[in-house]
Amino acid sequence: MTDLKHIRNFSIVAHIDHGKSTLADRLIQETGTVKERDMQAQLLDSMDIERERGITIKANTVRIEYTADNGEEYILNLIDTPGHVDFAYEVSRSMRAVEGSLLVVDSTQGVEAQTLANVYQAIDADHEIVPVLNKIDLPASDCDRVAEQIEDVIGIDATGAIQVSAKTGQGIHETLEAIVTELPAPQGNADAPLKAMLVDSWYDAYLGVIVLIRVIDGTLKKGERIRMLSTNAVYPVDRVGVFTPEMKPVDRLGPGEIGFLTASIKQVRDTRVGDTITHERKGTEEALPGFKPAQPVVFCGLFPVDNAEFEDLRDSIEKLALNDASFSFEMETSAALGFGFRCGFLGLLHLEVIRDRIEREYNIELITTAPSVIYHVYMKGKDNEPGEMIELHNPADMPDLSKVDHMEEPRIKATILVPDDYLGDVLKLCQDRRGIQLDLTYAGSRAMVVYDLPLNEVVFDFYDRLKSVTKGYASFDYQMEGYREDNLVKMSILVNDEPVDALSTMVHRDRAEMRGRAMCEKLKDLIPRHMFKIPIQAAIGGKVIARETLSALRKDVTAKCYGGDATRKKKLLEKQKAGKKKMRQFGKVDIPQEAFISALKMDN
């Protein structure tokens, strides 16, 4: 157990690519925490997907032992937090577990929207914040401008910002000293009943669920019995330890310390981020504030390309869910796509990560249907009484309109930072997506735009469009802002007069014609010509609002076919047959799998 005065707990706040993980690696290296030969770039991002995408999905932690210039030994606990909005709740929990933050800003780029969202979380958690200007080795580095921007936009003093090159190691020592001298030591009482925060948890094949904790008061030892305050579940503690970053057992964890416990917990679902852990007997009854379970906000269907792989898909989804309490799933049957799962995610990145992991780690090719949000459908009641409210996760389940009183959709508050050259494009994009402007301010040559937007206009391709209209120079972040009533309808797509359930979407009534036309046109290009002509229609209820006709195939014959060509021709037919397997047969029409997503992408 380390005395409180010699502990510093901190996190690093940064935008993707601003060098957070590299800086963390440097701190670890500088203090000799990991031997040179074990160093691997981006030590803390352990999943392939994290390394590839340069993002952190799970919170990670490392305990660094550091002898400061004053000659005293300190324990520095770094919690590396997810940087993406999808994992905002995990970020907020991690922030509550530490007392200070390094705000890392790329001195060639400046502050980005994501940095803002996370730094506000740090400010909310009462952190002491040390600004760090990174990448000063690059020619485009402009520390004065960026420091000024930090003061303008975020409103914290950046005069003492540390100038660092995580690449060359310049400024690393100064950063370590600043952690010791500028960040506060944690507070806590070793004699009080145990109160520890569950910061994160994950599944390990050998040890079961590993729980990352921050001890607030009291001490925790191996062999003790603990209780989770939210569920009252009791577990005997098998191990306690710290991350160096390898797991290293210790006798006990005391106030201010960050470490792990294992306790024969079978599923990650049994551990809730933000929960309070105490002793079974003589524990605290006072829960830490702000606990809430993570709620999925984006839903989509995942179907195996090959129907025979449905059971494999179920296996893989169940395994992934064991380690991810925020991911929900239930079986779904689609007339077009067969058996699959309707899955709920924290956001689009979360969706992509799970989908990539299924495809890569479990080798199952997937058809992903259009992402959708949860609508609140208020049914008509009897005798002027309000009817029940249904949470609609899948447009295919939309009840009969005549029984619906009204509907509400989730809204978000989006913050976009963009160079002013592209401001007009960004405003147009937001307006097109039914946005309501809340704020527009400038910091230097960059504009900060705040919009109230419907989540359903954002979940699909908003981020792609934003990147494309701003050539990648905009950054974007959002937070949920609750539900609001609007004129929403379910739009069905009929191909050859049959509704294709997987292509149904919820749209705003005013935009239905435009969306319907766009989808019909897209599908006309995506579906190959058949031997007959195929009407493609968009409809609301029984009313057709847009229509295209895919004309019949007129020409598909080999001009020359003689004795030597039979073999080649046979092979071509085989190949076409294999290609057909990648399509979904719907009535008499074959629809290519990519159509289910591509049809919804909007070009404007």
Partner 1 sequence: MRSPSWFRAVLAGIVTDLALENWQEAGFGLYLHWPFCAAKCPYCDFNSHVSRSIDQEAWQRAYLSEIDRYAEATPGRVLDSIYFGGGTPSLMDPALVGAILDRISDHWTLGNNVEITLEANPTSIEAAKFAGYRAGGVNRVSVGVQALNDADLRRLGRIHSVDEAKQALALAKSTFDRVNFDLIYSRQDQSLDDWRAELDQALDMGPDHLSLYQLTIEEGTAFGDRFAAGGLRGLPGDDLAVDQYFLTQELCEAAGLPAYEVSNHARPGEESRHNMIYWQAGDWIGIGPGAHGRLTLTGRRIGTETPLSPTEWLKTPGESAREDIPLDEQAIEYLLMGLRLREGIGLERLKSRFGMALDPQKLNTLLELGLIELDGPTLRTSREGRPVLNAILRELLSD
Residue 307 contacts partner 1 per CB under 8 A: no
Distances, alpha carbon 331 to alpha carbons 303, 355, 393, in Å = 10, 16, 13
Contact with partner 1 (CB under 8 A) among 159, 232, 384, 558: 558
Residue 469 DSSP SS3? helix
Shortest Cβ 603–partner 1 spacing (Å): 22
* Stretch binding partner 1 (CB under 8 A), from 102-110, 190-198, 515-523, 566-574: 566-574
Per-residue b or e along 296-308, where b marks 16 or more CB atoms closer than 10 Å to that residue's CB: bbbbbbbbbbeee
Q: Of residues 208-247, which lie at the interface with partner 1 (CB under 8 A)?
A: none
Task: Supply φ then ψ for residue 458, to 5 degrees.
Answer: -105, -35
Tokens linked to 125: 């958690």
* Stretch binding partner 1 (CB under 8 A), from 276-284, 354-362, 455-463, 550-558: 550-558
* Stretch binding partner 1 (CB under 8 A), from 181-189, 216-224, 392-400, 548-556: 548-556
Shortest Cβ 569–partner 1 spacing (Å): 6
Residue 205 contacts partner 1 per CB under 8 A: no
* Stretch binding partner 1 (CB under 8 A), from 145-153, 376-384, 411-419, 573-581: 573-581
Distances, alpha carbon 227 to alpha carbons 4, 97, 250, in Å = 25, 19, 20
Residue 140 contacts partner 1 per CB under 8 A: no
Residue 71 contacts partner 1 per CB under 8 A: no
CA distance linking residue 249 with residue 245, whole number of Å: 12
Those residues with Cβ within 8 angstroms of residue 418's Cβ, 6 or more apart along the chain or in another chain: 426, 446, 447, 449, 470, 473, 474, 475
Residue 226 DSSP SS3? strand
Q: Of residues 323-342, which lie at the interface with partner 1 (CB under 8 A)?
A: none
Residue 573 contacts partner 1 per CB under 8 A: yes
Shortest Cβ 483–partner 1 spacing (Å): 48
List strands edge to edge, sheet with 7-14: 60-67, 73-80, 7-14, 100-106, 128-134, 162-163
User: Toward partner 1, which CB reaches closer, 284 or 496?
Assistant: 496
Residue 554 contacts partner 1 per CB under 8 A: yes
Is residue 184 reached through a cis peptide bond, with omega within 30 degrees of 0 on the bond before it? no
What does the DSSP assignment read for 60-77? EEEEEEEE-TTS-EEEEE
User: How many residues bind to partner 1 according to rule CB under 8 A?
Assistant: 24
Shortest Cβ 557–partner 1 spacing (Å): 4
* Stretch binding partner 1 (CB under 8 A), from 167-175, 376-384, 422-430, 555-563: 555-563
Q: Calculate the CA dihedral of residues 207, 97, 20, 60 and round it to 10 degrees.
A: 0
Residue 525 contacts partner 1 per CB under 8 A: no
Residue 576 contacts partner 1 per CB under 8 A: yes
Those residues with Cβ within 8 angstroms of residue 465's Cβ, 6 or more apart along the chain or in another chain: 429, 602
Residue 578 contacts partner 1 per CB under 8 A: no
* Stretch binding partner 1 (CB under 8 A), from 181-189, 191-199, 386-394, 528-536: 528-536
Shortest Cβ 531–partner 1 spacing (Å): 5
Indicate left, alpha or beta for 475 from its phi (over 0: left) and psi (-120 to 50: alpha).
beta
Shortest Cβ 307–partner 1 spacing (Å): 13
Q: List helix spans (H) across 183-224.
A: none
User: Toward partner 1, which CB reaches closer, 205 or 531?
Assistant: 531
Give me the 345-374 binding string for partner 1, x by CB under 8 A, dash otherwise.
------------------------------
Tokens linked to 262: 């294992």
Q: Which residues bind partner 1 (CB under 8 A)?
A: 530-532, 553-564, 566-567, 569-570, 573, 576-577, 580, 588
